[in-house]
């Protein structure tokens, strides 16, 4: 699923590719998905969006929890947390989609839910409403913001139960907007931290190293066009080569050569090197 780095990549591509296009027709929920979320009745999306011009896009961090791309369409806002794909005029369209926009020039934009996803549509003047996932996430800075300083991170670190694991701290409840299980793996590998490690076992230096890894890893993902496990607006994988992911599970650890381990933990898989990320203190 798209996370913080991909929202920046996608919003920039939407700005360059879709801005100025007028929506000729909108198809929502044509292929129903049990974990697709809409604003109100998706059957009304065509009425809400037809004739509206795309005027811009931004990462959803000001108003949502950082896993969304906001697309301004005249007097309506689309807030999308699913992969977004552009289809040039005449290009083959996906057989299944949960949102499809047809533009006046014959091009299209599609959204297809993988595990879960939202395609919300509402007037921009209500976009500041609390996110349905986390009522306070819109008030929190992301690691791309200057406000996400080491002092801020240390305070956030100290504000939660110290018995929780580092995965629970970073990748649940959107304490850090846009950060989920996907980007977490490389952040922890770069910091040399096991995903199950309890916060109470961290020294000040280890906490500082974790902060630096969070900032630098996410920046690399954004600057390189998103992760290679995700696709951009044109269906191309991101340029950031993941160190720990389903794509690298069979490869040895890049640092020490040990076999990477995958385990189910807290609602998703974790990947780690047993040598570089010891489980002591977890």
Q: pLDDT tens digits, residue range 130-176?
A: 454 444 455 688 999 999 999 999 999 999 999 999 999 999 888 89
CB of 198 closer than 8 Å to CB of 165: yes
pLDDT for 205: 97
| Least trusted range by pLDDT, from 7-11, 65-69, 212-216 | 65-69
Length of the chain: 282
Instruction: Read off the pLDDT band of 116 (50, 70, 90).
Output: confident
CA dihedral of 78, 79, 82, 87, whole degrees rounded to 10:
30
Instruction: Read off the pLDDT band of 65 (50, 70, 90).
Output: low
Count of other CB atoms within 10 angstroms of residue 251: 12
Could you tell me which residue, 132 or 5, shows the higher pLDDT? 5
Any bridge partners for residue 25, and if so which? 102
How buried is 114 (Cβ within 10 angstroms: 0-12 exposed, 13-18 middle, 19+ buried)?
Answer: exposed
pLDDT for 136: 46
Among candidate residues 80, 63, 74, 99, the one with its CA nearest the CA of residue 10 = 80
pLDDT for 135: 47
Question: What is the bridge-based pairing of β-strands 117-122 and 36-38?
Answer: parallel
Could you tell me which residue, 69 or 115, shows the higher pLDDT? 69
pLDDT, average across residues 194-207: 97
pLDDT, average across residues 85-95: 96
pLDDT for 68: 87
| C-alpha dihedral sign at 33, 34, 36, 40 | positive
Say yes or no to pLDDT of 63 above 70.
no
CATH top-level class of 4-134: alpha beta
Instruction: Read off the pLDDT band of 40 (50, 70, 90).
Output: very high
Q: Please state, in angstroms and rounded to a whole number, the distance separating the CA atoms of residues 128 and 133.
A: 14
Q: Where along the chain do its domains lie?
A: 4-134, 140-272
pLDDT, average across residues 248-276: 95
Longest dimension (CA), the chain: 59
Written as six digits, the tokens of 9 are 């990549």
Say yes or no to pLDDT of 64 above 80.
no
Q: Please state, in angstroms and rounded to a whole number, the distance separating the CA atoms of residues 95 and 118.
A: 19
CB of 76 closer than 8 Å to CB of 121: yes
Q: Tell me the DSSP string of 94-120.
A: PSS-SEEEEETTS-EEEE--SS-EEEE
How many degrees, rounded to 5, is the angle at CA 222 between CA 244 and CA 1? 60
Q: Tell me the DSSP string of 7-74.
A: HHHHHHHHHHHTTT-BEEEEEESSS--TTEEESS-GGGHHHHHTTPBEEEEEESTTTS-SS-EEEEET
Written as six digits, the tokens of 260 are 């990477």
Q: What is the mean pLDDT of the chain?
A: 91
**Topology of domain 140-272, per CATH?**
Helicase, Ruva Protein; domain 3 (1.10.8)
pLDDT for 255: 95
Q: pLDDT tens digits, residue range 213-255?
A: 999 999 999 999 999 999 999 999 999 999 999 999 999 999 9
pLDDT for 134: 47
């Amino acid at each position: 699923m798209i996370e913080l780095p991909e929202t920046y990549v996608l919003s920039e591509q939407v700005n360059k590719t879709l801005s100025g296009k007028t929506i000729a027709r909108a198809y929502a929920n044509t292929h129903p998905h049990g974990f697709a979320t809409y604003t109100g009745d998706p059957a009304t999306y065509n009425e809400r969006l037809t004739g509206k011009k795309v005027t811009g896009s931004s990462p959803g961090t000001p108003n949502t929890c950082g896993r969304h791309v906001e697309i301004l369409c005249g007097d309506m806002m689309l807030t999308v947390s699913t992969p977004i794909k552009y289809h040039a005029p005449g290009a083959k369209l996906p057989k299944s989609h949960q949102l499809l926009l047809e533009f006046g020039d014959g091009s299209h934009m599609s959204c297809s839910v993988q595990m879960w996803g939202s395609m919300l549509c509402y007037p921009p003047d209500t976009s500041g409403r609390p996110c349905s996932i986390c009522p306070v996430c819109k008030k929190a800075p992301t690691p791309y913001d200057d406000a996400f300083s080491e002092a801020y991170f240390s305070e956030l670190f100290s504000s939660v139960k110290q018995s929780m694991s580092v995965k629970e701290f970073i990748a649940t409840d959107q304490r850090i907007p846009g950060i989920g299980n996907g980007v977490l793996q490389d952040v922890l590998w770069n910091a040399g931290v096991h995903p199950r490690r309890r916060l109470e076992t961290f020294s000040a230096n280890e906490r500082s190293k974790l902060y630096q890894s969070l900032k630098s890893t996410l920046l690399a993902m954004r600057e390189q066009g998103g992760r290679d496990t995700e696709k951009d607006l044109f269906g191309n994988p991101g340029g950031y080569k993941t160190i720990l992911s389903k794509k690298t599970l069979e490869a040895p650890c890049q640092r020490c050569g040990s076999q990477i381990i995958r385990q189910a933990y807290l609602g998703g898989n974790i990947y780690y090197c047993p040598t570089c990320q010891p489980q002591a203190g977890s």
